[in-house]
Amino acid sequence: MSEQENTNLVQLVYENFKSGDIKTLLTLLSDDIEWQLPEIENVPFAGKRRGHEQMGQFFESLVDTQEVQHFDPREFIAQGDKVVALGHYAWLVKSTGREFGGDFAHVLTVHNGKVVRFHEYMDTAAAAAAHRRDKYDEAGA
């Protein structure tokens, strides 16, 4: 596929994510997709995932724990089989009521018309702080 076709595929992944059509999004990922977020303390969907089953669990956990405030991929840079998406997002953590956000960089690798790898770079400290439950929170007071 050309760099433009790879970019179009990645943009379609984001469109399906933003519309909540995870079933269609999964069809754009290879069966053995490698999906990696940084390891982040207290964030249940952080870390590595592989395959459609684990991706379904990832998206389910994401929806269960966070609510998107805005998600805006702004720029796409393609070279060879890689597409880098640069953008900004903000999330509300349901269990704590805290918001976090910031700029992100996603590096996606495309092969045979499917996304085969995804790697996210983000502000992990902000995510960890927003997900951290204080002792006060745990006491239920």
The answer for residues whose C-beta is within 8 angstroms of residue 62's C-beta and 6 or more apart is 45
C-alpha to C-alpha distance for 62 and 45, rounded to whole angstroms: 6
C-alpha to C-alpha distance for 141 and 137, rounded to whole angstroms: 7
**DSSP state at residue 17:** H
The 10s digit of each residue's pLDDT in 59-118 is 999 999 999 999 999 999 999 999 999 999 999 999 999 999 999 999 999 999 999 999
The 10s digit of each residue's pLDDT in 107-123 is 999 999 999 999 999 99
Question: According to the CATH classification, is domain 3-132 in 3.20.20.70?
Answer: no
pTM, two decimal places: 0.90
Query: Please, what's the largest Cα pairwise distance for the chain?
Result: 56
The 10s digit of each residue's pLDDT in 28-69 is 999 999 999 999 988 999 999 999 999 999 999 999 999 999
